[in-house]
A = this chain, B = another copy of it.
Amino acid sequence: MNITEAQAEKVLKAAISKAKAIKVPMNIAIMDEGANLKLFYRMDGALLGSADIAIKKAKTSRLFEMNSEKLGELSQPGESLFNVEHSNGGLISFAGGLVLKNKNDTIIGSIGVSGGTVAKDFEVANAGSQALLNNKYNL
């Protein structure tokens, strides 16, 4: 099971819609089941430096099958995964990265969003991921 064009576009549209609603231009990255980039979109006015962060958030979530900020809890000084961000060519371990699942609860990819506060990044990423679950037809 791997994310399709149609699914990735659905995720992207929901994320952009949320970003516009909260008025924060975002970088949005969508990866497939193999942690390879499927779709990337930099909204007009989004921070240049957030493009790489969006991609790394998506990578982090897919590689570890968790919200990116969950890894961040484990990578604080003194915690078990301190500085895990050095692995895999660089990870980003704060909020804004989520796995993408289909209605059968199977991971088919991931999304990473960056451009605002981490709370807003999460909000937009979450809107994207929810889009795959709320549609009538399971793409």
Residues of chain A touching chain B, judged by Cβ–Cβ distance below 8 Å, are 4-5, 32-44, 47-53, 56, 60, 62-65, 72, 75-78, 80-95, 117-118
Contacts and interface: CB of A to CB of B under 8 A. Distances in A.
Chain A contact residues: helix, strand, loop or mixed: loop
A78 B79 CA distance: 11
B47 A37 contact: no
A62 B51 CA distance: 13
Given A41-B39, A47-B64, A48-B34, A94 B80 contact: yes
B82 A72 contact: yes
B36 A88 contact: no
B63 A48 contact: yes
Contacts of A53: 84, 87-88
A38 B28 CA distance: 10
A36 B60 contact: no
Given A49-B64, A84-B94, A37 B40 contact: yes
